[in-house]
Amino acid sequence: MPLFRLLCSIVQRHWSVDPPAKTPAEVEAEKYLICIPAPFENDSFYYARCIRFNRWYIFISAFLSQFCLGSLYAWSVYNEYIDRYVTGDPTAGKAVMAYYIAISCLGLAAALFGPWLEKVGPRRGIAVGTTLFLLGHIGTGVAISMKSMAGIYIAYGIVGGVGIGLCYSSPIATLQKWFPDLRGTASGFAVCGFGAGPVLWAMLFPYPLDAWGAKLYISFPAFGILMSLVLYMCAMVMRNPPSNFRIHGKDMHGVYHESINLLQNESDTYRSTSLKDRRRNGTELQAPRQTENGNVILFVPEDLNIPAEDLNIPVAEEKPHPHQYYRECELDDAELFYFQRVKQLKLADCVFSLDFLFLYLTFLFSIVFGLIIISRLKDMDVYIFSANINNITAADTDRAKKMVSSNAIFNFLGRLIWPVLSDIIIRLLSLNPATGRKFIFFLNLCVQLVVALFLRSAIDTQSHSTFQALVWSLTFVYGGGIGTIPCFLCDMFGAYNIGALHGIILTCTAIAGVGGGIGFTYIFDDAQINHSILSAYDNSIPLFAIGVSIGLLSLLLVRTNPVDRFAPGYQFSVGRFMLCNFKPKGWQFRDY
């Protein structure tokens, strides 16, 4: 029992996110772009006063770091070279496993080290991740020279994959804090860098091998050093905003401070005071009230010591509906109270909430289809649409390469356009931000379902133009889901928890990469042995349709309605109509 309590205590400390307050010396140093912590001195920094810091530098450095990390998606150009050099058979299919392992380690590392990244800050997180990224590329070169496929799996798949995981989530979480007014746009531009990277790296990686006859084992360290230099410079620029950061009246959590000052203390002070002191000082939001029939009133002006006339709220009915406040108040007031509740959420409460569970399932089934198709797209195009499978021509190969190259562009555009579109929809339709992101995911999954239903027909009829349109549509919305999920998480669970939760939800890539990738590879290889490759796709596509349907159902169960989310027990409504209001016997309202 003492050992068990010790382990629980370690886990609890690790998963408790409470970012340390910045010291005056750190705040002063971070006013300038070039800022490096002294290696062996506490609270000491080297900085140059030549360039003042601006939050848009974070925007640019996040894109550049993601652009370098996107080299992972260009791994497929190495498969044939590595298989030929290590095994002597260019069609051995062994090298692709390094990609699946790296994808898995990316998600697992981001999930495991998410709370740590939030505590130490993006600068140190990216620096550590870049070091692992560099060691992974150097180790891969050594493993290739030794013709060790296991060494490649360890160096690139595990070491490099963990490094990519650490570097991937830090810039995105940082952007969400600096851009509370443009969360979708910031998320889209950062994540689209990961999708844009393969467009360049897929052309650069084979160039020294084909043009100069350079050794394969030299290519990895050379490109690894080049990309790591860029990542180290991005790490120097990265930093979290100070506690007094405001942009257009909003702090990093999305709370308006110019319109109404809900809290008398700053967030760091707020978190350090006890619940009893907060309630005595009037800074703690009270538990939701209930009417006689059990309906919940989430926010009451008297609870916040704010005069009702200042909020422009009509006099409440004798037995108000639980949605009364949000139905009648101004949008800015509703957003303010919603984000104030979100700001108080603890990481453990977020991870074990039903909303996060359903969102996890939504994201998982929104990426499996696209991830598997992308990883096999070249093979699909060659084997399905070649006149003679036993005699693949150069024209067949060129057609497939053009298909893959064009597909990468749609991946890039999807990561950029859909999150930006979510910001536009939220403003035009005056939606709760989380509801706007949910609407985007709904559109994405609907498109995926249409693709899953018609892709089999395009393959059976050998219509390459229809196949192209469907795959490009799938990749477009696949990128959109990946680009939108960071701002969706931030709107749902708060800026303090975005780094850890984004890391946890990236484990979906591990499940999709290992489970989906290996499962599909087994089906494909079995069909190839039996000379019926088309049957591999015929058997798999219905499974994709089922998965997308599960994702749609899970999305509908994600509660973006603030009244439902923060009601005692479990409450679910559709519009103004309450479908479920369940509160277990003896349940007490959980203080956030």
CB 115 within 8 A of CB 351: no
User: Among 107-116, 154-163, 553-562, whose mean pLDDT is lowest?
Assistant: 107-116
The topology under which CATH files domain 54-258 is Growth Hormone; Chain: A; (1.20.1250)
Q: How confident is the model over 415-447, as pLDDT tens digits?
A: 989 999 999 998 898 888 888 999 999 999 999
The answer to whether 482 and 367 have CB atoms below 8 angstroms apart is: yes
pLDDT of residue 231: 95
Higher-confidence residue: 9 or 145? 145
Q: Hey, is 346 helix, strand or coil?
A: coil
By percentage, how much of the chain surpasses pLDDT 90? 22
Q: What is the pLDDT of residue 270?
A: 36
Cα separation, 146 vs 427, whole angstroms: 57
pLDDT at 486 over 60: yes
Q: Is the pTM of this model over 0.95?
A: no
Distance CA 301, CA 439 (A): 30
Q: What's the pLDDT band for 561 if we cut at 50, 70, 90?
A: confident
Segment 449-455 shows an average pLDDT of: 90
Q: Rg for the chain (alpha carbons), in Å?
A: 26
Residue pair 195/73 in contact (Cβ under 8 Å)? The answer is: yes
Q: From CA 502, how far away is CA 351, in angstroms rounded? A: 11
Q: What is the pLDDT of residue 390?
A: 64
DSSP string of 99-156?
HHHHHHHHHHHHHHSHHHHHHH-HHHHHHHHHHHHHHHHHHHHHHHHTT-HHHHIIII
Q: Is the pLDDT of residue 353 over 60?
A: yes
The pLDDT of residue 19 is above 70: no
202 vs 58, more confident: 58
| Per-residue pLDDT at 300 exceeds 60 | no
Instruction: Specify the CATH number of the domain 344-560.
Output: 1.20.1250.20
Pairing of strands 570-574, 289-290: unpaired
Q: What is the 3-state secondary structure (H, E, C) of 484-549?
A: HHHHHHHHHHCCCCHHHHHHHHCHHHHHHHHHHHHHHHHHHHHHHHCCCHHHHHHHHHHHHHHHHH
**CATH 1.20.1250.20 boundaries in the chain:** 54-258, 344-560
What average pLDDT score do residues 197-203 get? 80
pLDDT, position 142: 93
Which secondary-structure segment (H or E) carries 174? helix 161-178
Of 7 and 303, the one with more pLDDT: 7
